[in-house]
Amino acid sequence: MAEYDIPTLKEEIEKETVEQVLALDVDKYKYGFETKLEVDRAPKGLSEDTIRFISAKKEEPEWMLEWRLEAYRRWLTMTEPTWAKVHYPRIDFQDMYYYAAPKGTNRPKSLDEVDPALLEMYEKLGVPLKERELLAGVEQPRVAVDAVIDSVSVATTFRAELNKMGIIFCSISEAIREYPDLVKQYLGTVVPVTDNYYATLNSAVFTDGSFCYVPKGVRCPMELSTYFRINEAKTGQFERTLLICDEGAYVSYLEGCTAPARAEHQLHAAVVELVALKDAEIKYSTVQNWFPGDKDGKGGVYNFVTKRGDCRGDNSKISWTQVETGSAITWKYPSCILRGDNSSGEFYSIAISNGYQQVDSGTKMIHLGKNTTSRIISKGIAAGFSDNTYRGQVSAHAKAKGARNFTQCDSLLIGDKCGAHTVPYIESRNASAVFEHEATTSKISDDQMFYAMQRGLSEEEAVALIVNGFVRDVLQHLPMEFMVETQKLISISLEGSVG
Amino acid sequence: MNAIVRLGPAELTLIEQLKNLGAHAEAERLTAAGLPTRRVESYHYTDLKALLRSVPELGTAGGAGAPHFDIPGTWRVAIVNGAIGSPIGAPHGVTAGTVSGSVLTERDDMLVRLNSALTQQSLSLEISGDIAEPLVIDRQFAGEAAHVATGAKIFVADGAKVTIVEVYSGSEAAHLGNHATYLAIGKGAEVTHITLNLMDKAATHFATNEYLISESARLRTLAIQAGGALSRTQLLPRYVGKGAYADITGLSLVGDGQHADITMDAQHAVPNTSSKPLFKSIARGRSKAVVQGRLVVARDAQKTDAKLMAQGLMLSDEAEILTKPELEIYADDVVCGHGSTCGRLDDDHLFYLMARGIDKITAETMLVRAFLAALVDPIENQSLKAALTGVIDGWLENA
């Protein structure tokens, strides 16, 4: 049997892993290209006029404009939150554009009318906007896509087919015009206008996003997906997603994001609201791959996002799965309000940071109903000079009898210039609630390597096995359609060591 | 933030007291910032601005009372309303005296700042050799409600071995105590440090214990909070020598109307140090128990092995147990973690005992004792262990 020199091996693996991460995230951000498109922009800066401009562009009804203006006036009185473990220079909210739309694509009747340059761009991103027909005998996964570039939704596929089942899937601008009652009933009920600094800003200036309504008892037959792309320079993207799952319905929703590589920072402040009524289930998956900045930490997207799901009805379920690999700064806490009795919330997260990225992400599980359950699995991998923080809150209200939570957050450090932090807030206000929380921080241990290699695995296979095992709990909750992309993204050691 | 800070009566009294003592810089700082609110991360669950309603007059020296908590076979020094009693009959190897001013290392923390500004004179203990009898520092409040800041500076020489017990107690008045202990432990020394908050129900109790743990030194602490309407014990261990090890433990016993907070901020500064912090809370009635525990591992502190555990036991539906363990890790070759559990007594365990003919109350008490065993069992001195068990039993019986 060959003798293994463990320390040398370890160094090698570390080197390889670090190289992999570098190659992956910083130097080879393959979505960093910019597509030249003719755009229609709002004047730079933020004022009531900007908001009126956006609202007019969107041909919105009066109540929507009022809603936006009220949010803006509120926002002026608020201060930026400082509790997150992230550092960045003050954002100049007057030095950016709040509306940018590719010309001539405002409302295409069919995909044939969409600018070919745009279709090409999405093709390049691996998001086909063509509706693929089912080939005889060959089962192909079909995904309905709503593609959002800068400030507008450019195309939504499979709408007709979904419509037959009563499912509404369109851009939020269209929804405001065509389904005002539904929007009025649910918009801002999960994330109130006054919720936090960035959510309020979003409420004032949001430009587009996706809207989805799944009627009673309908199981959405395909994955719904939104693909966000910031293309223009100095443009903030403020999208708003509203997803309603009526009684007994089910939907699985995917979200992907990329941006060109630029030297200046770009702001992305989105709001996502999910509503699950009685017996409904929503599965929301995100692969976030905004431009993380270059290897010296220049540029990159500030990703300040408010995502929240409301399990409004009994026995409802909301499951968040996120893979966070991009953005210079991530400030994101997809949460669940477990209002209905027996409702359950899940949060599965893989957060990878490298270069000078800063991640402060986690979740909130607010138990309000009886016998509500929640589960949190978070895997953080920090490399380079990055800081990776898990921040999560679990709380049980006095009325949440029999609430249960299990939380596990593990961090893996690669290199000694990065930091991994864990900050859970565990608040129990009733005796029958049972909370368990576990967190570990480590690197791949010599013992694990020794054990695996003793059983005949090569060094590469051993690392692959261990890292695969590290993120497995989360990976297995991703929809099939995302698995390939995700595995490519997090091939932190997997790809490199398996070869 | 541009918001103007509105000052409450507690803050105004504190500012005046600081000014009277010549601590103008601190008075200005308090005027500008006010007492910490929940927006200050380290006071997230103990909002001093909301909880501290009033501050009594600064205490004046009073006569030494009888000890509220007596352990046979100990040496005792009393600090009454801040006045340090004459330390007579110190055992061989213990040098007792006083130092002027306060004892804590400067830190951006309101309680530490206030203690440093208000403490005029501190007790000093220098310890060498193997001290068999536990040393008791008895900080008492006498008479009318008083605001008192005290300090104790303790040096334990290389290779020494000692048990130090600190007791906080007083008369039935709304006293406010802000206490500090600085304990520096020499190479290879072994120290057990117990603090016992037995203040009356109306009192407010703040204590900050700073530990400096040298090479191969071993420390065991147990901070028991059983008294006071509002209590906060801050534990600040710093691991500064290779092989330093500490079991930092704490226990909050809270009942109706009480709010107790144990906050640890541990700094692992050099390689090869380890710690096993363990905090337990039992809450009954309408009460609140807070545990915050932060482990900070510096860039250089490779091979740190630290595992924090926080466990809460809720005996009523009106109680709240709020836990915030934190990891802040900058070194990659470490094994660090934390765990937290919270719930009530296990129905299966109760059933098991009751099925064997044990009545419900006895069964519950047995389970609660078992829950607490990990904290009290490791204490070597038998009479001390018996005395602490007595305090816990007393709390359990007075439900």
Worst-scoring range by mean pLDDT, A4-8, B127-131, B390-394? Answer: A4-8
> What's the rounded Cα separation, in Å, for the pair A180 and A64?
9
Chain pair A-B, CB pairs under 8 angstroms: 124
Q: Which residues of A touch B343 (CB under 8 A)?
A: 428, 431-435
Q: How many CB atoms lie within 10 A of CB A222?
A: 18
- Cα distance between residue A83 and residue B1, in whole Å: 13
For the segment A319-353, what is each residue's pLDDT rounded down to a tens digit?
999 888 878 889 999 999 999 999 999 999 988 88
pLDDT > 70 fraction of chain B, expressed in percent and rounded: 97
Q: Which percentage of chain B shows pLDDT scores above 90?
A: 84
CA atoms within 13 A on the CB side of A160: 4
C-beta separation of A226 from A453 below 8 A: no
Ranked by mean pLDDT, the top range of A432-441, B220-229, B329-338 is B220-229
**Residue B7 host element (H or E):** none
Residue B135, pLDDT above cutoff 60: yes
Q: Are B151 and B115 in contact (CB under 8 A)?
A: yes
Q: Does residue A412 belong to any structural domain of this protein?
A: yes
Exposure of A36 by Cβ count < 10 A (0-12 exposed, 13-18 middle, 19+ buried)? exposed
Is A486 domain-assigned? Answer: yes
CA B85 to chain centroid:
22
Sort strands A271-276 and A300-311 into parallel, antiparallel or unpaired: parallel
Q: Are A366 and A310 in contact (CB under 8 A)?
A: no
Position B202 pLDDT exceeds 70: yes
Facing residue for A436 by CB, picked from B314, B322, B341: B341
Residue A184: which of A276, A35, A354, A61 has the closest Cα?
A61
User: From the list B1, B317, B331, which residue is nearest A398 (CB)?
Assistant: B317
- Looking at residue A418, its pLDDT comes to 86
Q: Please give the helix or strand (H or E) that residue A18 lies within, else none.
A: helix A6-21
Q: Are A364 and A345 in contact (CB under 8 A)?
A: no
Q: Name the band, by pLDDT with cuts 50, 70 and 90, for residue A138.
A: very low
With pLDDT > 90 as the criterion, what percentage of chain A qualifies?
A: 33
Distance CA A475, CA A332 (A): 19
B317 and A430 in contact by Cβ < 8 A? yes
Closest CA to A191 of A337, A47, A326: A337
Under an 8 A CB cutoff, do B329 and A413 touch?
yes
When pLDDT is averaged across residues A63-91 and rounded to a whole number, the result is 88
Candidate from A57-61, A370-374, B222-226, B242-246 with smallest mean pLDDT: A57-61
For residues A145-156, average pLDDT: 70
Place A112 in a pLDDT band, splitting at 50, 70 and 90.
low
Q: What local confidence, expressed as pLDDT, does residue A17 receive?
A: 56
CB crowding A427-444: b at 16 or more within 10 Å, else e: bbbbbbbbbbbbbbbbbb
A236, A96 in Cβ contact below 8 A? Answer: yes
Question: Nearest CA of chain A to the CA of B26: how many Å?
Answer: 24
10 Å CB burial of residue B2 (0-12, 13-18, 19+) is: exposed
At A142, is the pLDDT very low, low, confident or very high (cuts 50, 70, 90)? low
Whether A439 sits inside 8 A of B341 (CB atoms) is no
Unique residue bearing structure tokens 């519950």: B364
Q: Which residues pair with B343 in a beta bridge?
A: B313
Give the model confidence (pLDDT) of B317-368 as tens digits: 899 999 999 999 998 888 899 999 999 999 999 999 999 999 998 999 999 9
Please give the structure tokens belonging to residue A256: 């992907």
Domain-embedded: residue A137? no
Residue A213 is predicted with a pLDDT of 94
Query: Is A413 in the B-facing interface, judged by CB distances under 8 Å?
Result: yes
For residue A308, the tally of other CB atoms under 10 A from its CB is: 24
Kindly report the number of other CB atoms within 10 A of residue A77's CB atom: 8
Using DSSP's 3-state secondary structure scheme, residue A462 falls into: helix
Three-state SS at A203: helix
**Residues of chain A with pLDDT > 70: what percent?**
76
By the 10 Å C-beta count (0-12 exposed, 13-18 middle, 19+ buried), B374 is classed as middle
Average pLDDT of span A417-427: 91
Residue A113 has pLDDT above 70, yes or no: no
Q: Please give the C-alpha separations between residue A316 and each of A189, A213, A283, B85, in angstroms, as whole numbers.
A: 17, 16, 11, 65
What one-character DSSP code corresponds to residue A24?
I
Domain range annotation of chain B: 59-344
Q: Is B299 on the interface with A (CB under 8 A)?
A: yes
Q: Where is average pLDDT lowest: A379-388, A486-495, B237-246?
A: A486-495
| pLDDT exceeds 60 at position A104 | no
Please, what sign has the CA dihedral across residues B39, B42, B43, B44?
A: positive
**Which residues, numbered 28 to 87 in chain A, qualify as contacts with chain B under a Cβ-Cβ cut-off of 8 Å?**
79, 83
Asked if the model's pLDDT at residue A28 lies above 70, the reply is: no
Is A421 touching B (CB cutoff 8 A)? yes
- Nearest neighbour of B299 by CB, restricted to A416, A424, A427: A416
Which residues, in sequence order, are bridge partners of residue B230? B204, B259
Instruction: Please name the residue of chain B whose CA is at the shortest distance from the CA of residue A82.
Output: B39
Which of A414, A423, A426 is closest, CB to CB, to B342? Answer: A426
Residues of B in contact with A373 (CB under 8 A): none
pLDDT of residue B120: 92
> What is the phi/psi pair of residue B227, to 5°?
-125, 180
Inter-chain contact A428–B335, Cβ cutoff 8 Å?
A: no
**For chain B, what is the mean pLDDT?**
92
Q: Which residue has the higher pLDDT, A471 or B295?
A: B295
Cα atoms found within 13 Å of the Cα of residue B363, Cβ hemisphere only: 16
Query: B318 CB near a chain A CB, below 8 Å?
Result: yes
Q: At A151, list the tokens.
A: 């400030």
pLDDT at B119 over 50: yes
pLDDT digits (tens, 9 = 90+) for B50-81: 999 999 999 887 666 667 777 888 899 999 99
ipTM field: 0.87
Residue A470, pLDDT score: 76
Q: Residue A377: which domain range?
A: 6-126+142-498
Instruction: Identify whether A265 is part of a domain.
Output: yes
Q: Contact at 8 Å (CB) between B293 and B277? A: yes
DSSP labels, B258-318: -EEEEEEEEEE-SSS-EE--EEEEEE-SS-EEEEEEEEEE-TT-TT-EEEEEEEEEE-STT
- Residue A394 is predicted with a pLDDT of 95
Confidence of residue A412 (pLDDT cuts 50, 70, 90): confident
> What residue of A is the nearest CA neighbor of B344?
A431
Read off the pLDDT band of B91 (50, 70, 90): very high
pLDDT of residue A29: 66
Q: Dihedral sign for Cα A193, A197, A199, A203, please.
A: positive
Find the mean pLDDT for residues A32-47. 75
Residue A135, in any domain of the structure:
no
A432/A85 Cα distance (integer angstroms):
33
Binary contact (B327, A411; C-beta < 8 A): yes
Kindly report the nearest CA distance between residue B330 and chain A, in angstroms: 4
Q: Which of B327, B315, B334, B210 has the alpha carbon at shortest distance from B272?
A: B334
Q: Which region, left, alpha or beta, applies to residue B129 given φ > 0 means left and ψ of -120 to 50 means alpha?
A: left
Residue A491 or residue A463, greater confidence? A463
A419 contact residues in B (CB cutoff 8 A):
328-330
Tokens in use for B393? 């039993």
The Cα A89–Cα A24 span in angstroms is 26
Rounded to a whole number of angstroms, the distance between the first and last alpha carbons of chain B is 45
Angle of helix A62-76 relative to helix A197-205, nearest 10 degrees, comes to: 150
Distance CA B225, CA B315 (A): 17
Q: How far apart are the C-alpha atoms of A199 and A270, rounded to whole Å?
A: 7
In single-letter form, the type of residue at position A381 comes to I
Which residues does chain A have within 8 Å of residue B338's beta carbon, measured at their own beta carbons? 422, 437-439
- Find, among A311, A366, A360, the residue nearest to A333 by Cα: A360
Q: Of A62-66, A289-293, B155-159, which one has max mean pLDDT?
A: B155-159
What confidence score (pLDDT) does residue A44 get? Answer: 81
Q: Could you read off the pLDDT of A181-224 as tens digits, one per residue?
A: 999 999 999 999 888 999 999 999 888 888 999 999 999 888 88
**How far is it, in rounded angstroms, from Cα B51 to Cα B43?**
11
Residues 320-349 of B with CB under 8 A from A: 320-344
How many CA within 13 A on the CB side of residue B136? 21
Whether the predicted pLDDT of A282 surpasses 90: yes
Give the span between the Cα atoms of B152 and A407, in whole angstroms.
40
Can you read off the two tokens belonging to residue A455? 């059983």
- Domain count across chain A: 1
Angle between helical axes of A48-57 and A62-76 (0-180°, round to 10): 150
| A156 neighbors A168 (Cβ within 8 angstroms) | no
